[in-house]
A and B are shown apart, each in its own frame.
Chain A
Amino acid sequence: MDIKDRELKEIIKTLSYFLHGKEKAIKLALITFFSRGHLLIEDLPGLGKTTLAIGISRILGLDFGRIQCTSDLLPTDITGLSIYNKSLEKFEFHPGPIFNNVVLVDEINRATPKTQSALLEAMGEKQVTIEGETYKLPKPFFIIATQNPVEQFGTFPLPESQMDRFMLKISIGYPSREAEREILKGGSKREELYNLKPIFNKETVLKIQEDIDRVYLSDKIVDYIIDIAEMTRREKFFSAGLSIRGTLAIAKTAKTNAYFHGRDYVIPEDIKELAIYTIPHRVIIKDEYENISPEEIIKSIIDSTPVPA
């Protein structure tokens, strides 16, 4: 297997020019992308989510679509719809913005539950069905959804069960003082971003995704993942622990993380590094412990699970 970890580092480096001091977020987004998962960013507006999405689509040579969610957004606004063409005398399908490789769904919690579930279904199935016709979504397909945690009025926050469909949940956070100074001095780089030269193309990206599937996952590591999952299921603070989809996501992202480190086998560090992004949004905390952050509990669980060696 030809591991392209050097090129991946190059990508992270290039993108961090546009998102100062946010290598971690870029890397996590890329890991999600190469794991064939979707990313949920829970953050305040104006911290670079769009830049991240555009950057990833540009540098990987993919096309980009954007959906700005509002309460009156309809499912067909996302998936597209058939319109009658008079001259041809038949219905014609007009694909919606979801028919792109990288789709930014901004403020997903503003959309109505109906629209949300249409979107989540498309994410899960990687296809949409409109008036009996099934349309395959392009490959690769990657959704970055954002959710504003502060504004709660008139929004429909994603229920926990839906959050599970996102492979990672991250937040970008405020930049450091130095980084912000750089941003202010440099002005807008949006134009530059659009002219970014791709490092990969679609074929390479798909090839890497296939290679990642072949990263070796030892039984020892599988047991380690199950150990962690069982700990979350037994944890007294949680009313629900990790689902099967959750353990699958852990294994999948661990493989990608190993690949990013230039390895063709998974080690416990790959899992530990990502645990606070893969697990917290999948567990449900009991009402009486609402003030405890799930991240902290996950950290303590990881720190008490022995590694295989």
Chain B
Amino acid sequence: MEKIRIKTSLLITSYIIALAGFFSVNPYIDVSYAALFTVLFLVGVFFDYKNHYPVPRFVLNTISLSFVIYKFITVSIDDPIVPIIEALVFLLGVKLIENKKFRDYLQVYVISIFLLAGSALLSIDMIFMVYFLVLFFSVVIAIVLLAFYSEAPELAVNKKVLIKILITAFAIPVIAVPFSIILFVILPRTDYPLFSFLNHGIKASTGFSDSVKLGEVSDIQEDETVVMRVTMPQINSNFLYWRGIVLSYFDGKEWKRIENLEKDTYLNGQRVRQIVILEPYRDKYVFALDKPVKVKGILGLKVSDDFVYQKNLPVNRRVKYEAVSVLTNRIYVRGIEKELYLQLPEGIKEKLGDLARRLKKDTTIKTVYSILNFLKENYVYSLKELTVSQDPVTDFLLKNKKGNCEYFASAMAVLLRLNGIPARIVAGYKGGIYNEIGGYYIVPQKNAHVWVEAYVNESWLRIDPTPAPIESFVSVKTDIKSKVAFLLDTLEYYWINLVINFDFQKQITLFKKIKENIRKPNVNFSISREVIVKIVIIGFSLPFITLILYKLFVNMRASPEQKLLNRFYKKLSKIGYKKDNSDGLIEFVNKIENPDIKRKALLFAVYFDSIFYKDRKFTKNDIKKLEEILSEF
């Protein structure tokens, strides 16, 4: 039976999406853009058909960027919609001629959706519904296909299987629409996690809170909702501590925050920049990688000496901010107010004094590790059957011996303080799942975590006594289902990032302005300006199209292997070896005198011959390998 490549169906679906987006705005945009898009679309289809992309990505990116900048500069505040749509049409066209990867596919979908949304701003026509349905179904189908494609790019299935996949993909929105309408009506819409730990005594779920209370609930449920998404490069998961709040006063059941001045802190480590999108929650602290030194993008942010960042109001809607953190587990600070960090609730010394004394060693640092090891070895991490009592730390340490991070951290801090070592509690999140498609960390509520900072050798040292395995904080499934979930989350992320403006006020004013402008006919758009715009567009696109045509005619002929071979010859001719037309590759290489170059060149020649003269197709892998050999010259 005939096999159909997943990639082919994915491409076709993507074309449909792009065309639906384009046609929805076609009547409103300038004809030059429509023509430009048509050319780019056809060229893109041709490239996909040939599976050869002669225009390098950076060229496209530069063109897109300069175009967007140009549009941004020339856009009139009076009528921003059409120019923005035109820019999007252009970007969509450029995306189509790229060698498409995940992000590019997703960007194609997102831009198409934007275009449709844009068309809704310009007219209220029934045709909108048609484009909407086409986009709606094709995007879901495309995402399902994309999930397959991401698993195995070269996958080919026979017709029956493909039809089955398509029907399933088609069924998802069909089933989802009525169901989501029901959910939409039934469920009260809320910005907060529904079950907030500590607010409601009986049922509790994991999550961050501004104080750490012990001994009230016995079971905690894991809450999978996302608390933040952080755009940053992937780092070693051992550094994934998201600092929120520092607590220093313990009354026996609850840790509270008392602010303190600590001047002359000093950090030493790698700096990491993050863009954080924080979901609404009921408190006013913002999170960043441990230890954040700079947080930008939030008005009225209060910074404390213990690297805690606090808004003046609770985070009751999504916020986006930029943070810079220094990856280290130490804060060097000379001189702290020791009494504050040695405070203990009444009566605890009598109960736990013996235990603390037993763990004391001859130096501070040894004592710290002695306590840490004692906790890790003798106590069990659990979210069930937690200690419920009036003196939770004592009961946890002496009786129950089971607990979550809050118990471990509290016990650690208390034992440290009993030994005269200043200690404090830090609450935040740990770990996160890296979404490679979107390039960001997803941190769910269940990753809420509490750890300890101990003052050792004039520095606050991060200590995490909780024996939960790191995998439980960073684990990620790789089956198709999770892949789809990831892709959907990526879409949501783009949606949040690009569509939802973080300043709603601005959005509303903009919207008002648009409405006003649409109502009054715009006549002061002078002819000369229109001509200039057109000239600039043509000026922009002409060299671009010429470049494409040139590449098409000159480079299309040269297959990737031929290009590689040309590079090989070029490299060798630079050191004085010119290949005669009648020389065989190996024969030519054998003429080289330098044994080192000869050895490498021979490697290339033999590998190349073994594919070329066996009439095998040069796979991406082969090309990559040959390039690697070539780059070693």
Query: Which A residues form the contact surface with B (CB < 8 A)?
Result: 216, 218-221, 263-269, 272, 302-309
- Known contacts: A219-B615, A266-B613. The answer to whether A306 contacts B565 by CB under 8 A is no
Would you give 6 A-B contacts (Cβ < 8 Å), ordered by A?
Answer: A216-B613, A216-B615, A218-B613, A265-B609, A268-B584, A309-B565
Contact of B613 with A221 in the complex, beta carbons under 8 Å: yes
Q: Which of B593-624 contact A (CB under 8 A)?
A: 608-610, 612-615
- Chain B residues lying within 8 Å of A264, measured Cβ to Cβ, are 614
Range, interface on chain B? 10 to 19
Tell whether B585 is near chain A: CB-to-CB under 8 Å. Answer: yes
Say how far B608's CB is from chain A's closest CB, in angstroms: 7
- Known contacts: A309-B565, A309-B608. The answer to whether A272 contacts B613 by CB under 8 A is no
Report how far A219 CA is from B586 CA in the complex, Å.
Answer: 19
- Chain A residues lying within 8 Å of B565, measured Cβ to Cβ, are 309
Pick from A221, A272, A306: contact of B581, CB under 8 Å:
A306
Q: Which of B20-64 contact A (CB under 8 A)?
A: none
Contact of B584 with A272 in the complex, beta carbons under 8 Å: yes
Q: How would residues 561 to 583 of chain B score, 1 for a CB under 8 Å from any chain A CB and 0 otherwise?
A: 00001000000000000001111
- Chain A residues lying within 8 Å of B585, measured Cβ to Cβ, are 267, 307, 309
What are the 5 A-B residue pairs with the smallest beta carbon separation, nearest first?
A269-B584, A306-B581, A268-B584, A265-B614, A265-B613
- Known contacts: A216-B614, A218-B614. The answer to whether A267 contacts B609 by CB under 8 A is yes
Say how far A237's CB is from chain B's closest CB, in angstroms: 19
Contact of A307 with B581 in the complex, beta carbons under 8 Å: yes
Contact of B582 with A306 in the complex, beta carbons under 8 Å: yes
- Chain A residues lying within 8 Å of B584, measured Cβ to Cβ, are 267-269, 272, 307
- Chain A residues lying within 8 Å of B191, measured Cβ to Cβ, are none
Report how far A304 CA is from B608 CA in the complex, Å.
Answer: 23
- Chain A residues lying within 8 Å of B614, measured Cβ to Cβ, are 216, 218, 264-265
Report how far A31 CA is from B580 CA in the complex, Å.
Answer: 27
- Known contacts: A218-B615, A266-B613, A267-B613. The answer to whether A304 contacts B582 by CB under 8 A is yes
Pick from B582, B586, B610: contact of A302, CB under 8 Å:
B582
- Chain A residues lying within 8 Å of B587, measured Cβ to Cβ, are 268-269, 272
Report how far A95 CA is from B583 CA in the complex, Å.
Answer: 49
Contact of A307 with B583 in the complex, beta carbons under 8 Å: yes
Contact of A309 with B581 in the complex, beta carbons under 8 Å: no
- Chain A residues lying within 8 Å of B609, measured Cβ to Cβ, are 265, 267, 309
Query: Which B residues form the contact surface with A (CB < 8 A)?
Result: 565, 580-587, 608-610, 612-615
- Chain B residues lying within 8 Å of A267, measured Cβ to Cβ, are 584-586, 609, 613
- Chain A residues lying within 8 Å of B586, measured Cβ to Cβ, are 267, 269
Given contacts A265-B614, A306-B581, A306-B582, 5 further A-B contacts (CB under 8 A): A216-B613, A266-B613, A267-B584, A307-B584, A309-B609
Pick from B610, B612, B615: contact of A309, CB under 8 Å:
B612
- Chain B residues lying within 8 Å of A263, measured Cβ to Cβ, are 610
Report how far A264 CA is from B615 CA in the complex, Å.
Answer: 12
Contact of A220 with B582 in the complex, beta carbons under 8 Å: no
Say how far A275's CB is from chain B's closest CB, in angstroms: 11
Say how far B559's CB is from chain A's closest CB, in angstroms: 11
Say how far A130's CB is from chain B's closest CB, in angstroms: 46
- Chain B residues lying within 8 Å of A303, measured Cβ to Cβ, are 580, 582
Contact of A220 with B615 in the complex, beta carbons under 8 Å: yes
- Known contacts: A265-B610, A269-B587, A272-B587. The answer to whether A307 contacts B615 by CB under 8 A is no
Report how far A305 CA is from B580 CA in the complex, Å.
Answer: 10
Q: Which residue of A lies closest to B611 (CB)?
A: A265
Report how far A60 CA is from B581 CA in the complex, Å.
Answer: 39
- Chain A residues lying within 8 Å of B613, measured Cβ to Cβ, are 216, 218, 220-221, 265-267, 308
Say how far A304's CB is from chain B's closest CB, in angstroms: 6
Q: Which residue of B lies closest to A305 (CB)?
A: B582
Say how far A168's CB is from chain B's closest CB, in angstroms: 20
Q: Which residue of B lies closest to A219 (CB)?
A: B615
- Chain B residues lying within 8 Å of A216, measured Cβ to Cβ, are 613-615
Say how far A305's CB is from chain B's closest CB, in angstroms: 6
- Chain A residues lying within 8 Å of B615, measured Cβ to Cβ, are 216, 218-220
Report how far A194 CA is from B193 CA in the complex, Å.
Answer: 95
Report how far A215 CA is from B437 CA in the complex, Å.
Answer: 45
Report how far A264 CA is from B608 CA in the complex, Å.
Answer: 14
- Chain B residues lying within 8 Å of A221, measured Cβ to Cβ, are 613
- Chain B residues lying within 8 Å of A272, measured Cβ to Cβ, are 582, 584, 587
Report how far A307 CA is from B614 CA in the complex, Å.
Answer: 15
Say how far B439's CB is from chain A's closest CB, in angstroms: 40
- Chain B residues lying within 8 Å of A306, measured Cβ to Cβ, are 581-582
Report how far A302 CA is from B581 CA in the complex, Å.
Answer: 11
Q: Which residue of A lies closest to B583 (CB)?
A: A307
Q: Which residue of A lies closest to B579 (CB)?
A: A307
Report how far A157 CA is from B568 CA in the complex, Å.
Answer: 50
- Chain A residues lying within 8 Å of B580, measured Cβ to Cβ, are 303
Say how far B163's CB is from chain A's closest CB, in angstroms: 38
Most chain-A CB neighbours within 10 Å: which of B565, B582, B610? B582
Q: Which residue of A lies closest to B585 (CB)?
A: A309
Report how far A264 CA is from B606 CA in the complex, Å.
Answer: 12
- Chain B residues lying within 8 Å of A268, measured Cβ to Cβ, are 584, 587
- Chain B residues lying within 8 Å of A266, measured Cβ to Cβ, are 613
Report how far A264 CA is from B587 CA in the complex, Å.
Answer: 18
Q: Which residue of A lies closest to B615 (CB)?
A: A218
Say how far A211's CB is from chain B's closest CB, in angstroms: 16
Report how far A79 CA is from B505 CA in the complex, Å.
Answer: 109
Say how far A78's CB is from chain B's closest CB, in angstroms: 41
Report how far A157 CA is from B160 CA in the complex, Å.
Answer: 72
- Chain B residues lying within 8 Å of A304, measured Cβ to Cβ, are 582
